[in-house]
Amino acid sequence: GAEDLAEKIQAGQIDFERCIATPDMMPLVGRLGRILGPRGLMPNPKLGTVTANVREAVEAAKGGQIQFRVEKAGIVHAGVGKASFPEEKLVANVKALVDAVNRAKPSGAKGTYLKRAHLSSTMGPGIRLEIASLVS
């Protein structure tokens, strides 16, 4: 059950990309925070990964839902694919991220919301993207 899974995670056996939990399981998941947190796997109600509707969360995750958090400085880091993806797929994923960021814009935000965008591989140099080409 859940206790066995928690023990596997504490032993460092993490074979999943997203962790979804119901609110009543958070006390158990909370104990795994030191392991899940640094990997960006900690369930969070703001991201929709702490929910009573697990089916919906799993379907969204499998449907390619992009998760991102904004740093205090207003910087967003998000994975949009792998270097092995075809170019069209990467372009579609970048545009989907830009759309999601623009939809998340607070109603009180004034001026240019998205100022700069860069794309890079994990350890590669960043390439500046033209914002106008990203906004559909």
Beta carbons within 8 Å of 115's beta carbon, 6+ residues apart: 131
Least confident interval from 11-25, 58-72, 88-102? 58-72
Q: Give the model confidence (pLDDT) of 63-99 as tens digits.
A: 666 666 677 788 888 888 888 889 988 888 888 888 8
With 0.75 as the threshold, say if the pTM is over it.
no
The yes-or-no verdict on residue 132 having pLDDT over 80 is: yes
Higher-confidence position of 93 and 60: 93
Do the beta carbons of residue 88 and residue 47 sit within 8 Å? no
- Cα–Cα distance between 11 and 93 in angstroms, integer? 34
